[in-house]
Every structure is written in C-alpha cells, then in structure tokens.
Structure 1
C-alpha cells in the first residue's frame, strides 16, 4: 500500500512527464489481482456513489465522500488534463486498476483511523 504523499508525488511527477510522452500512470506490480470489493460490473449505481474507470477499463463504484479526498481530486485533475472533459462519457482515470485499488485502500485506511475521509 502506498502512502498518500507518495501517490501525490507520483501523480505530480507523472503530470510533468505526461506533457512530454502522454503516458498513463501504472503501478509497477504486475502480478496483483484487483479486489472484488471496489471493482463492480453492475450497470446500476447505488444512491450516494459514483463510477470511475481506469485506463485498463476496470470499473469502480465509490462513495461520494471520496470526492473530498485530496488524492481523488488530484487524479480527477490529471484525468481532465489527459482526456479533457468528456461530456456524457464515463470518467476515466489516468491510472491502472492496481494503483486505483491502492488509492481506495489508502482512503479507507485513513478514514478508519480518523473517522472521516478528509
């Protein structure tokens, strides 16, 4: 699991490199499986949740509270810079599923320690 500071540092570093190479963020671990608790294939989304997709087309249903998180906001900003505003299309993050799983795990762990998601 990566720390929040390391993820933000990685995102900022990627942002600088993206202007040159236009690459997406990937996690270096290749043998990792995506957990079933965050990834969803259902087309219906529960009230109070939103959907994001990763660069490798995995779908994640997340609570709306995650929108307040600094890491999620940074990933959304990177997605806007990479893909632009897509209108009616789905939101795609510029990272792969294992990195997204780490971000979700980090947010959950921080929430359980602090009792909030901020």
Structure 2
C-alpha cells in the first residue's frame, strides 16, 4: 500500500502536469449541474466530485483514513470551504480512481 504522503506527492505532480498551459485548475462559478448528476446517495456513503465533473460515492468509513483527511485539506485550499455546495477534489477522475483502489 502507498503511504498517504507519497500518494499526495503523486497527485500534485499529476495536477501540475495537467495544468501545463493553464494558470490554474478551476471550475465554473455555477455548480448546479453537479447537484443534478446524483440526487440519491446510498446509505453510508458520501459523494465527492472531481475537476472533470465525475462523481464518486465513497463509504463513510473512509473518512477516518489519513489519505482522505489530506485530500479534504487539499480541496479546502484549492476551492475553499463551502457549506452549500458539493465537495470537489482538485484532480481528475483517473487520479480519484487510483486513490480509491489503494484505499480499498
């Protein structure tokens, strides 16, 4: 299993590679389309979105892992903390799938 620090370094490296030619990864100001994508979440799960507008249903038990705590910190630094909008992770769906495969 990969350590959380190494996984975060990899994610930041991929994010930098993805951002070449752009000043910053950002989303449109309106996030209504995110909420329309998934209106019902399975019991015991929460939803996070990625910058390419994919969503992932994640078990609540993952909230205790160090990796997700660091990912939430990264998300807060990139997009700020909002109580009325979705949780957006600062990378694309491929990175999120990679992270979930290692947490499982």
Q: TM-score, normalised by structure 1?
A: 0.62
Aligned equivalent of 1:58: 54
Unaligned segments of structure 2, at least 5 residues: 15-22, 27-36
Q: Which has the larger strand fraction?
A: 2
User: By how many angstroms is 1:47 displaced?
Assistant: 1.4
Aligned equivalent of 2:34: none
For the aligned residues, what is the CA RMSD? 2.7
Q: TM-score, normalised by structure 2?
A: 0.70
Aligned equivalent of 2:93: 97
User: By how many angstroms is 1:11 displaced?
Assistant: 4.8
Unaligned segments of structure 1, at least 5 residues: 15-20, 25-40, 109-118
Aligned length: 87
Secondary structure of 1:102's counterpart equals helix
Contact 1:11 1:74 in 2 (8 A): no
